[in-house]
Each structure stands twice: as C-alpha cells, then as structure tokens.
Amino acid sequence: MAYQAPYQDLQRLLPGQVRLLEPMKLHSTWRIGGPADVLVEPGGAESLSRALDFAGRFNLPVTVIGNGSNILVRDGGIRGVVIKIGNGFSRIKAEGDRIAAGAGVKLAQLMKVALDAGIGDFEFAAGIPGTVGGAVVMNAGTEEAAMSDVVENVVVMDKMGRLFKQPARELGFGYRTSSLQGASLIVINAECRGTFCEAQAIQARIDEILSKRKKTQPYTYPSAGSVFKNPPEGTAGYLIDQAGGKGMRVGDAMISTVHANFIVNLGTATACDVLRLIDRVQELVSRRFGIKLALEVRVFGED
C-alpha cells in the first residue's frame, strides 16, 4: 500500500524535483524495480533539507540512491520518499593535490578532474559507474585501491537537515562497506586527496584498467556489477564458475557467461527472478564449497 501523504504539496514545495509513482527501473543500472511512491531529485542541500523535513513531518521512510549501480529494487517498489542524489550535487574542484566533489558527481568525472589536474590515485575508479556518494557508502574499488584510500572527509546531512563533517577515520571503511551503510546520514560532499603524478602515466593506467574490464566483464546487458562480496577463500566469480553456475538462469536473469559474479538482465528480468537466482547460486556454492556468499548489492523495497 502506498503511503497516503500529500505528495502534491511536496511537488509544489520543490517544483520540477518530485516525481510520483516513479518506476525505479529507470534509476537502476539493472533496469529492474517497481515504483517509488515518490522520487525526489533535490537541486541542492536546501531542497534536500526540505524533502527530509517533509518526510519527517509525515513519518515517511526515506531511501537514498545515487546512480543506482549497486541496488536491487523489489518488484513492489519502495514506500515513502526515495531521494536521488544527482545533478544537484555535481560541483567539483581540484586544488593542489586535493579534490572536493559533490556526492552526485560520477566517478568518471572525478577521475577526469584528477587526470586534468595531474593528481594520481583515482585510476581505480575507471569503469565503476557510481556517484561519489554511493562510492563512499560502498567503499567502492578494486583489489588495488578503494575510496577509503583517497577520501579525507565527507560532509553529511542528518534527517533533521543538519550538515556536519566526518573524517575518514570515523567512517568505518572496510571491504565494500562503511558505517554509512544503513545509517540515516546522506553524503553531500567528499574531500579527497591523491598524489601528484604525470598525466600521461595516469592516462596509461586508466586505459589499462578499462581494457582489462572490457575483456573480463559483461557490457552487453544491464547489470549491477558484482552481486556477491568476495569471501576470504577466493573470488565469488571463481567459486560460482567452479560450482557450474555460469549461464544459470531464472526468467530473464542469468549468471553472466563472461563473469560469474555478474547477474545480467536479458530483457524482462524481475527482482523476483534475480532474488531466486541469488538463492540458487548461494545454495550451489554452499553445497560445493561450504561457503555462504554474502550480497554486495543493496536490496530495497517490497515484493
């Protein structure tokens, strides 16, 4: 059941920033997901604070997303207010070896600004389709480096609309995790620091990473990147592959034949298909290796 909140009031309060019954598949790289009661894409911190105030007054749950490249939204959609941190938070500035980036800046843009300023250490972000905010929360990265290696501070907003700065050491960064996961704080901005480096060397490193990705990851169909975290025993992709999971399918959701830790949407996959496939793969790997694979993707919404 959708919440009976006066969402039209919110539309009047934030013109052009509010969409009712918005299909979440339009906001997920998996192209899967039922409708959000309301989706707000705030034009900036002031609008965000108003949206949070509205949600607080009507006691509505709040879900935050960035580029939707690591989320699975269930088929019944999301009740309450979904807040998308995007273009309203896209300011970015390099100064010396530091870069201050809005949470809605795409990692590709962050990397480009770093390259133009001759600041290295951001190359790991090549090919990761998230925003700075989502990447901080997920501590996105590769086996070589992650956001925790470059972030010094983040500015967050709490649900009362108050802004404050948190140093990286208080963010509980770990492998694909941070203390911001599941917290009610919204990342607004991140202050990052790299190391001065020749632009040519940075570019060569980016090219190398992108070419490796093209060879080892599926790009033909929509996906959300790696579905499972790598357990200490080995990579999830290797374990799924060895257990015979490649090509396994439920409806239009399929374990990629290119990279076994990716589930691709062949066209009309539902969240239900993906979740059933996830269960089957977990069972397969558990029976073969006695390892329970944990989810990396964040699941939201109702069946």
Ligand X SMILES: Cc1cc2nc3c(=O)[nH]c(=O)nc-3n(C[C@H](O)[C@H](O)[C@H](O)COP(=O)(O)OP(=O)(O)OC[C@H]3O[C@@H](n4cnc5c(N)ncnc54)[C@H](O)[C@@H]3O)c2cc1C
By the criterion CB under 6 A, which residues form the site for ligand X? 29, 64-71, 85, 103, 128-131, 133-135, 137-138, 140-142, 176, 180-181, 186-187, 223-225, 298
Query: Is 176 considered catalytic here?
Result: yes
- The CB-of-145 to ligand X minimum distance in angstroms stands at 10
- The CB-of-296 to ligand X minimum distance in angstroms stands at 8
Which position among 49, 69, 226, 256 bears the catalytic label? 226
Complex with ligand X: residue 131 or 270, whichever CB lies closer: 131
- The CB-of-233 to ligand X minimum distance in angstroms stands at 20
**Spatial separation of the C-alpha atoms in residues 302 and 145, rounded to whole Å:** 34
Complex with ligand X: residue 229 or 288, whichever CB lies closer: 229
Complex with ligand X: residue 134 or 194, whichever CB lies closer: 134
Q: Coil, strand, or helix at residue 237? A: helix
- The CB-of-142 to ligand X minimum distance in angstroms stands at 5
Strands 119-120 and 195-196: antiparallel
Tell me if 65 sits within 8 A of 87, measured CB to CB.
no
Both tokens of 73, joined, read 């939204």
**Spatial separation of the C-alpha atoms in residues 193 and 271, rounded to whole Å:** 38
Complex with ligand X: residue 17 or 69, whichever CB lies closer: 69
Tell me if 37 sits within 8 A of 61, measured CB to CB.
no
Query: Is 249 considered catalytic here?
Result: no
- The CB-of-171 to ligand X minimum distance in angstroms stands at 11
Which position among 176, 178, 205, 223 bears the catalytic label? 176
Biggest CA-to-CA distance, the chain: 56
CA 258 to each of CA 11, 70, 181, 193: distance values in angstroms, whole numbers, following the listed order? 44, 19, 29, 34
**Spatial separation of the C-alpha atoms in residues 240 and 152, rounded to whole Å:** 36
* H helices present in the chain, as ranges: 7-13, 45-57, 107-116, 132-138, 199-216, 236-242, 271-289
Complex with ligand X: residue 183 or 199, whichever CB lies closer: 183
Write out the catalytic residue numbers. 176, 226, 296
